[in-house]
Every structure is written in structure tokens, then in C-alpha cells.
Structure 1
Amino acid sequence: MAKNNVSHDLFDPRKGGQAIRISSMRIDAKPFEPARTNYFSVYLIESGSGMFWADASQFTFGPGALLFFIPYQHIRFVPDIPVQAEVVQFHANFLCVETFHAEVGCSGLLFNDPYGIPVVVMDEQSKSDVKNLIDHIRKEHEERELAYGEAMLAHLKVLLILATRLKSSRAGACGPGMDLRHPVLGQLRDLIEQNYHTLHSPADYAERLHMTPKTLGRIVREHLGTTPTDLIRSRILIHAKWQLLHTLKPVKEVSRELGFGDELYFSRLFKKATGHSPTFFREFETAVRGGSNLSMLSDRAPIPRSAVASDT
């Protein structure tokens, strides 16, 4: 039985942690919060249904859904009926999504898309394919035969490619991962991309879209399951995490370039979102990655173009 748990469960190879792990999970029909973790997480919902929250964004799920969560994210499930799920979790040491996106838009489509929905709904054939891939990963993980790590990585990549294809095929020409049935959403996305480092209030964006903050909030909630405030905050945090991981800029400088005059306010916002201070996040992840993250320098946190492309 899953129990309510808001603790942290961080991958740390110095303590014998494994960079990939596979588990089966049962969630009873009551609220459940998995421990925060620095793994990327993929949940295959085999049975059961209900609601889940990824940070402050709310979504529905049912049998045959794939759910995608990013490291340090706060997750909460509220099932209607008991849920049975297969869970694959991997750290950047096993597969760095930030570099893999060139092959398979899984950063900015499956993960790290503040404007999209972290759910892929599968048909029976796709569900069977994904289940088989997870079974192969589990078998390699348990039997540990020659080159088992490479075999697990290959199966994981195929799983992510399959999920990316499914999500892309249902997203339409307006851009993967985002429901653009309302034209304001595309305009809002572009405005946030241009201004998230200086404009932090939904009222600023509502004014530029010639509507009230209440109307903008309703549109975002109805189509994306979140709020304008959380869209803006999520984009800020993607940038902040990138800078903390891949540059040596002081926290004060990262705070300032994101438009925060008060470093303490920025640090509180970051800790609320991740469960840890910016300094801990940088030092811990750099330690567990052996410093490899510092080879990916960038002045701007990237979201692949496929996730923010202009409407066509």
C-alpha cells in the first residue's frame, strides 16, 4: 500500500544509488504524494484513474496513460479507484534528456515543457509495446548480463521515441505538447518566452493580450490545467536550473538576470519548487554528475524549437 510521503529520495552514486530503476506501484484510492526525487520519472498507468498534480498543474489520467515528471517535482495523485502502475526512473547520469532532445524532442515535449501536458494517452498496441520495453529494461536490470547497461539505455530510448511520436502525432501542426485550440495560448507562449526574465505578473501578459487577468486565467486553466502564474514560474525555473547546473554564475547573478532584485526571494521561490536551495541543488547535482554538467555552457536555458515554434 502506498503511503503519503513528502520526503526526498535522491540518487547519489556515492551511496550506492543506481542511475536507473524500475518498480511496480499500487496507489490506493486516497491522496498519495511520492517522495521528491532527482530522477526523471515515467509512469505507465496499467489500471485505475483519477487526478494528479505536477507542482500546481492539475490533470486527469486513466488506464493506458504515460505520465512524465521532471527531477525535484512535487507530485500528488488523487485516484478515483486504486491504481496499478509501472514506474521507470532515470537520472541524467544514465540518460541526459538535455542532450537527447536533438534525437527525440523528449526535452520540451515529454519533459520540461511549461506550456504542455505531461500525459500521453496510448492505444492498446502502444500500451503493449511500452509494457514490453519496460519488461526488457527490468530483465536486463535484474540479470545483468554482458552490456546490460547499454541494452537498458537502448530500450529506454525506444520507449521515449515511441512516446514522442505518439504525442507529436496528436499535437497537430501548431506545436508539439500544447493544446492551441484557443489562439491566445500561442500568443501567451511567445510572450512568456520573450519576457519571462523581466515580466513575472500575469497582469503584464493579460494587458499585452488585451484581456483581463481573470479571462486569461480561465483560458489557461481550461486548456492547460494550470495558471498563468505557474506557466511563468515554470519557465523561470527551467532557466534557473540550467544556469545553476551548467554555468558557474553566482546565485545572485542568476537571480538578477531573471529579474529578481532580492536574491532571498528568488531562493525561497526555488526552494518551494524543488525542495532545496539553489546552492544545494547546484553543489549536489554537480557532485553526483562528477562535474560533467559544467561542460554544457549556455547563456539561455533552451527549450527545443519544436516546443515553442510559431503557429503554422
Structure 2
Amino acid sequence: MSNQNAFTLINPQNGNLAFKLLSFEDNSHFDHIQRNNYFSLIWVNRGNGKVKADFAEHQFEEGSLLAFSPYQPFMICTKEDIEGIAIHFHPDFYCIHMHQKEVSCNGVLFNNVYQPPFTRITDQAKATFQMVIDQMKTEIQNAELAQYELLISYLKIFLITASRLKNEQLEESKSTPDSKEPFILQNLKDAIEDHFKTKHSAGNYADLLNISPKALAKLSKNYFNKTLTDLIAERIIIEAKRELYMTNKTIKEIAYELGYDDEHYFSRFFKTNADVSPQLYRETVGFGKMV
């Protein structure tokens, strides 16, 4: 096996990164704000630190898998060197939205606004990941027939293993009395899912749940480490990205479906929260660039 640290495949049609496997021995790759147009899986084998993602900060331990979506801002802060493996893949290479039934990682590993963006890796999962990564390294150096298809198969094993593990850990946390969320927060999650297209303010949800805005804000901050306004904004942006990625709808149509009559106001809101305009997101990540 080669001692090479990075293995990269480039999309020949546009010159963009398609797939990359990177071994890292310090934090130099992630010690500044990342806003990439691809998915990132960062498996930290040694060391710990703090991850800043979207509107929140979280502590992570050795043996954690961090997962980030395209243009999701994140940065890793450490006081010591960390070591591990990063897998980057563009949605053109593998689209988790189109293959949700196969891997079920959207809303679990990626785009889960209520949970920290990492999973604790068990010894069993570690063995699976190492085997899959070794196979990926071999295949990426082997430009034979159906190379992409085989790499995607390995990536799917990685994603399914990680998603199952994350789901198990979410179920365990629900059944642990000390960490159980107040019932009102499950109602809040349900309310945001049901109404984020029509209700955009924190006050709307306080009214729906018959609780004072101040009390609901405090609960949101304590349990999700985010303000209620941030939670709502994140959920709207995730839906907007999905529509930009998966459909040919105009930005005006998407804005209207998400409850914004003013396309320009929606575009400013999107750019504030996603760091790119809806049009640029579509051109660099979404389906719109292929038609």
C-alpha cells in the first residue's frame, strides 16, 4: 500500500473535486472556516477538540466521526495534534438526497439541526471503516473499468454503518432519563417540521406551543446549543438547498414555497445563512448546472 496522504478523483467534465481520501496528522486542514461545495466525513482517530458548525460549538472526543454538508460552515479547534482520515465527495459523485432510501443518512449524519455533527465510533464500526478505507485506497489507484461504481459501493457501506450507529446513539440518549429532552422540545421539533414553510419567527412557535418566548428560547439554547431563530433558519436553508439541488424550480418559486413573497429578501436570507447566493449554490452543487 502506498504511503501517499491524499488520493483524489477529479470530475473530468468540470474539473471539480469528485472524491478525495485524505490522511491527516494535525489540524492544519480544518483550523479555519470551511465552506466547501462537497460533503465531508472527518474521522478523528487520535486527539480531541472543539468543532464550530453553523451557529453552535461542540466538544468532540477521540474516535469521533464529524459530518458536514456542502457549504455548511465549520471549523475544528484543537490544543493538540489530531490524526485521522477525511473523505470528501461531491453530490455529483454521490447524491445522498437521490439515494436516501439506500443509505438513510440525510437528517441523521447530515442536515440534523438538533444534534451535534458527530458520531462516536465503536470498535466494531472502526474495523468496518478501516477495511472500507483500505479498499478505497486500493481502488482509487486502480483506474480500471467501473472504478467510480466500486468506490460508491464502498462509500455507501461507510455511510450506512455510520448512519446506523448514529441512530443507535440517538435512541440510547432518548432512553437515558438524565439526558431526556423535555416533552415540549419534541413538540417544538414537530412544530418546526410542520410549519417552517409558513412560520419563520420564534414567537410563532411560542404561540403554537403555548409557552412564553423567553422560556422556549432558554430550552432551545440549553438542549440544542442554538437559538430558536437559528434552528428555524437552518431548517429553511436545508429545504432550500434540497430544492436547489434536486429541482429545476426557479429561485422565485422556491422562495414562494418557503413562505417568502420577495425573492430578493429570500436570496439575502439564504446568502446570510449559507454564505453563497442561491444561484451560486445551484451552479456549484445543484442539479441546475446540469441542465
Q: How does 1:153-164 map to 2 (within 5 A)?
A: 153-164=152-163
- Kindly indicate whether the alpha-carbon contact (under 8 Å) linking 2:245 and 2:288 is maintained by their aligned counterparts in 1: no
1:132-157 CA deviation, whole Å, 9 max, x = no partner? Answer: 32222122112334433222111111
Q: CA separation in 1, counterparts of 2:19 and 2:28?
A: 28
Q: Which residue of 1 aligns with 2:50?
A: 51
Give distance in 1, aligned partners of 2:90 and 2:56.
23
What's 2:183 paired with?
A: 183
Structure 1 match to 2:7: none
Counterpart of 1:300 in structure 2 is none
Cα drift, residue 63 of structure 1: 0.9
* Residue 219 (structure 2) aligns with: 219
Question: d(CA) in 2 for partners of 1:226 and 1:77?
Answer: 18
1:222: Cα distance to partner?
2.6
In the alignment, is residue 170 of structure 1 matched against residue 169 of structure 2?
A: yes
Aligned counterpart, 1:296: none
**2:34 corresponding residue in structure 1:** 35
Measure how far apart 1:26 and its partner are. 4.0
The equivalent of 1:124 in structure 2 is 123
Which residue number corresponds to residue 150 of structure 1? 149
Distance 1:81-1:218 versus aligned 2 partners, 3 A rule: farther
Residue in 2 aligned with 1:258?
A: 258
Letter in 2 for 1:285: V
Question: What is the CA RMSD across the aligned residues, in angstroms?
Answer: 2.6
Question: What is the Cα deviation at residue 216 of structure 1?
Answer: 2.0
Residues 87-140 of structure 1 show CA distances to partners (whole Å, capped at 9, x for unaligned) of 001112221101222123111111122233321101233223212322221221
Select between 225-234 and 146-155 the one with higher mean Cα deviation: 146-155
Maintained 8 Å contact 1:51/1:58: yes
Asked if the contact 2:42/2:84 (under 8 Å) is kept, the reply is yes
Amino acid at match of 1:98: H
1:192 paired to 2:192: yes
Cα distance in 2 between the residues matched to 1:136 and 1:266: 44
Amino acid at match of 2:230: D
Q: Distance in 1 between matches of 2:118 and 2:207?
A: 31
Question: Equivalent residue of 1:135, what SS?
Answer: helix
1:287 is displaced (CA, Å) by: 7.0
* More divergent stretch after superposition (70-79 vs 234-243): 234-243
Deviations 1:163-186 (A, max 9, x none): 1111122222898xxx75321221
Distance 1:236 1:220 in 2: 17
The residue number in structure 1 matching 2:4 is none
Kept in 2, the 8 Å contact 1:74–1:273? The answer is: no
1:133 is aligned to 132
Q: Which amino acid aligns with 1:151?
A: L
Aligned residue in 2 for 1:241: 241
Bigger shift: residues 123-132 or 39-48: 123-132
Aligned counterparts of 1:90 and 1:28: Cα–Cα separation in 2? 20
Structure 1 pair 151–265 and aligned structure 2 pair: CA distance change class (3 A): same
Alpha-carbon shift at residue 47 of structure 1 (Å): 1.2
CA contact (8 A) 1:93 1:289 kept: no
Match of 2:106, SS?
Answer: coil
8 Å contact 1:51–1:61 — kept in the other structure?
yes
Q: Give, in angstroms, the shift of residue 62 of structure 1.
A: 1.3
AA in 1 matched with 2:228: P
Q: Which residue in 1 is equivalent to 2:102?
A: 103
Q: Which moved more, 1:44-53 or 1:33-42?
A: 33-42
The CA distance in 1 between the partners of 2:269 and 2:259, in whole Å, is 13
TM-score (norm 1): 0.80
Letter of the structure 2 residue corresponding to residue 41 of structure 1: S
Q: In 2, Cα distance between the equivalents of 1:131 and 1:61? A: 20
Q: Give, as a single letter, the amino acid of the residue that structure 2 aligns with 1:276.
A: V
Amino acid at match of 2:204: D
Q: Which residue of 1 aligns with 2:91?
A: 92
Q: Does 1:279 align with 2:276?
A: no
Letter in 2 for 1:227: T
Q: Give 1:143's aligned amino acid.
A: N
SS at match of 2:101: coil
Report the CA distance shift for 1:287/1:185 in structure 2 as closer, same or farther (over 3 A): closer
Number of aligned residues: 278
Q: For residue 130 of structure 2, give the secondary structure of its aligned residue in structure 1.
A: helix
The alignment-based identity, stated in percent, is 34
1:232 Cα deviation after fit: 0.6
Q: Is the 8 A contact 1:40 1:69 kept in 2?
A: yes
Please list every run of 5 or more consecutive structure 2 residues that lacks an aligned counterpart in the other structure.
1-9
Give the direction of change, closer, same or farther, for the CA distance of 1:106–1:180 in structure 2 (3 Å limit): farther
